[in-house]
Amino acid sequence: MAFQITQGNVDDRKTVPYLSKDLWAKLFGDKGYISQDLFQELYKQNIKFITPFKKNMKNKLLELWEKLMLRKRSLIETFNDQLQNICQIVHSRHRSPINFLVNIISGLIPYTWQKKT
């Protein structure tokens, strides 16, 4: 598991190379991550970056399995729900950066030890 905490005005696409440095094969993202530069950078790392298409984009050939995986948004939402409700990571206003980090880390530790089915 990898995570990175950034300010609110940082583009999410800038964190992808750091978060995917130990990955290989395929990486799926939503329409917000569409970027030719990011695709090429990940391709150099032997990662196939797969995103859905926007209406004005040319259609590219995808394997059937890849198309099916793009529809699995509910898996990501389930992960987010577990972090918020089971591990009690919630968006709240902390009075110091240390309290914020303690809240995040204290939620990620139980998640990593949670039994996976």
Count of the separate structural domains present in the chain: 2
Q: Is the residue at 63 inside a domain?
A: no
17: pLDDT strictly greater than 80: yes
- Domain identity same for 48 and 79: no
pTM of the model: 0.62
Domain co-membership, 45 together with 95? no
Question: Are 5 and 36 contained in the same domain?
Answer: yes
**H or E, element range at 65:** helix 64-70
Give the model confidence (pLDDT) of 58-115 as tens digits. Answer: 767 778 888 888 888 777 778 778 777 777 777 667 788 888 888 888 888 887 887 7
What domain range is 91 assigned to?
72-117
For the chain, list the strands marked E by DSSP: 25-28, 47-50
pLDDT band at 117 (very low <50, low <70, confident <90, very high): low
Same-domain check for residues 1 and 45: yes
48 in the same domain as 77: no
Judged against a pLDDT cut of 70, whether residue 49 lies above it is answered with: yes
Other Cβ atoms within 10 Å of 41 Cβ, number? 16
